[in-house]
Structure 1
C-alpha cells in the first residue's frame, strides 16, 4: 500500500509578495515533490489550504490504516522536496506509518506539526444495555 503526499498549493511564505512571485510557494514545492514522488512510487495530490498558513509550506504524509503526519515551515526548494519524499518513502515501507527518528531525513527534522492516528476500521460496539 502506498503513502500519499498531500501538498498545500496555496501556501505562501510571509515574504511572498515582496519576492514578486508568480506562483505560490506551495505550487513551487508541489512542482518539486511530484516528479520525485512519482519516481519513488508515491502518490501525490494538491489541495487548496491545509489550514497551516502560519507554517507555510505544508504537506501531509498519510496512508490507509497508518499514522499520518503534518509537516510544514519549509522553504520551497530541492532540499525540502528530497527530504519530504524521503520521509514519505520510509512511511510507505512502514506497516504502521511510524518511522524511527534516527532514519528521518535531516531536512524534515524540526518540521513536524502533528501526528494523526488512523481512523478506526469500525465504529465502537454499543455498550450492552
Structure 2
C-alpha cells in the first residue's frame, strides 16, 4: 500500500527572512524529498501549504490508509534529511500497521517525531 509523504511547502525556519533565500525552507525540502523519493516503490509525495506546525518548521507527515500516521518536524532543508525521510517512509510502507521498530529508524528522523495519529475507524 502506498505511503504518502506530505510536505509543507510554506515552512520557514527561524531567521529565514535574513537568509535571502528565494524559496521557503519548505519548498527547498520538498524538492529534495521529491528527488529522493523518485525511485521509491511504494512512496509518493505531495505538497501542501501549511500544516500549522510553524514552531517546528520544516514539517512533513507520513501517511497511509489504515495505518498509523506520523507528523514530524524541525527538519533542515538538506539532502540528508530528505533521504532519511524517504527511507523512513519506505519502512512505513513495508509495515502492515505503519509502525517501524525504533532500531530501524534512520538516524535522520530520530528526534523529529511530533505526533502519532491512529487510523480512522471504518
TM-score, with normalisation over the residues of structure 1?
Answer: 0.92
Q: Unaligned 5+ residue runs, structure 1?
A: 122-129
Matched residue, 1:26: 26
SS at match of 1:84: helix
Matched residue, 1:37: 37
Matched residue, 1:86: 87
Matched residue, 2:64: 63
User: Highest CA radius of gyration, 1 or 2?
Assistant: 1
Distance 2:37 2:83 in 1: 9
Distance 1:99 1:2 in 2: 15
Q: Unaligned 5+ residue runs, structure 2?
A: none
Matched residue, 1:127: none
Superposed displacement of residue 38, structure 1: 2.4
Matched residue, 1:125: none
Deviations for 1:96-124, whole angstroms, at most 9, x for unmatched residues?
00000000000000000000000001xxx
Distance 2:56 2:36 in 1: 23
Aligned residues: 121
SS at match of 1:120: coil
Q: Give RMSD over aligned pairs.
A: 0.6
The runs of at least 4 aligned residues of structure 1 exceeding 6 Å deviation read none
SS at match of 2:46: strand
TM-score, with normalisation over the residues of structure 2?
Answer: 0.98
